[in-house]
Structure 1
């Protein structure tokens, strides 16, 4: 699962690659190892990421988290992919690759009916397999990739038929 985070107006893609023995994240395609999280009594915290200590303070806000690093504050919020696709006007009709990779399994065919959240295709990127799901209920109009085929980030892998106007 790829999390989309808005950090001060810039969108970043974060994937958890491993949780043990350390947290391993892919952030915008770059691998990072989070080795430690220490908390001080004053509310400050320190992470060790890729061997570098990083001191920070965080606080909740109405729509996310405020993080303070090196004297600067950053607003961080998680983006809801389904709401974002709906707001994009028709974006909910496509299944896009969140990062470059290879198609492992195509689970559906053109004409198949799918429900929101049902897996359409499984991909692999950086040795991590990920299932890409239907963004809404509908009918598969196009499968734009083949098993074993490579693709770039944001490539359309499948398309749903436009919803009927009624």
Structure 2
């Protein structure tokens, strides 16, 4: 799973590479190992980051978090890729590949209704399978890739059209 975070105005790409036996993240292309240390209270966390102890306190609501680490406070915003595409005018109807890879399976065919968040295609990149969801309610207008076909990062792999009732 990949997300983007804004930390003090700078955008960072974060991908969960592995969850077990401990969390491994790819942060801006660099692998980092994170392990929780038991015993921290509510809003406080102790962990190790690449073997170094880190104590942090966090608070916030929605997509905005305030995190205090090492005497400094950082504002972190979680960026929903669907909202980012909508703000950028990237086409609320297009489903883009977040990374290069290949289509594993197609769950929805042209003409089928789909709800926001429902999986349209499943892709694989670097042995990681990812479900690509519909960015909104609609009808699948076209699926541009079949199972086994490859694609590049940000390539449009499927398109939606409004529901017949004018959605």
Class of the TM-score when normalised by the shorter of the 2 chains:
0.7 to 0.9
How do residues 95-110 of structure 1 correspond to structure 2 at under 5 angstroms?
95-110=95-110
Q: Distance in 1 between matches of 2:60 and 2:13?
A: 21
What residue number does 1:115 align with? 115
Where does 1:71-90 land on structure 2 (aligned, <5 Å)?
A: 72-89=72-89
- Name 2:57's counterpart in structure 1: 58
Matched, 1:9 2:9: yes
Gaps of 5+ in 1: none
Q: Give the Å deviation of 1:19.
A: 2.7
- Which blocks of at least 5 consecutive residues in structure 2 are unaligned? none
Is the deviation greater in 144-153 or in 80-89? 80-89
The secondary structure found in structure 2 opposite 1:130 is strand
Provide Cα deviations, 1:117-159, integer angstroms capped at 9, x if missing partner: 2211001122111111111111112222232223232222111
* Cα pair 1:44 1:55 within 8 Å, conserved: no
Show the 5 A alignment for 1:120-131: 120-131=120-131
Partner Cα separation in structure 2 for residue 10 and residue 102 of structure 1? 31
CA change 1:44–1:135 in 2 (3 A) is: closer
Residue aligning to 1:145: 145
Measured in 2, the distance between the counterparts of 1:45 and 1:133 equals 32
Report the RMSD for the aligned CA atoms in angstroms: 3.1
Does the CA-based 8 Å contact 2:68-2:74 persist in structure 1? yes
Inter-CA distance 119–44: structure 2 relative to 1 (3 Å threshold): closer
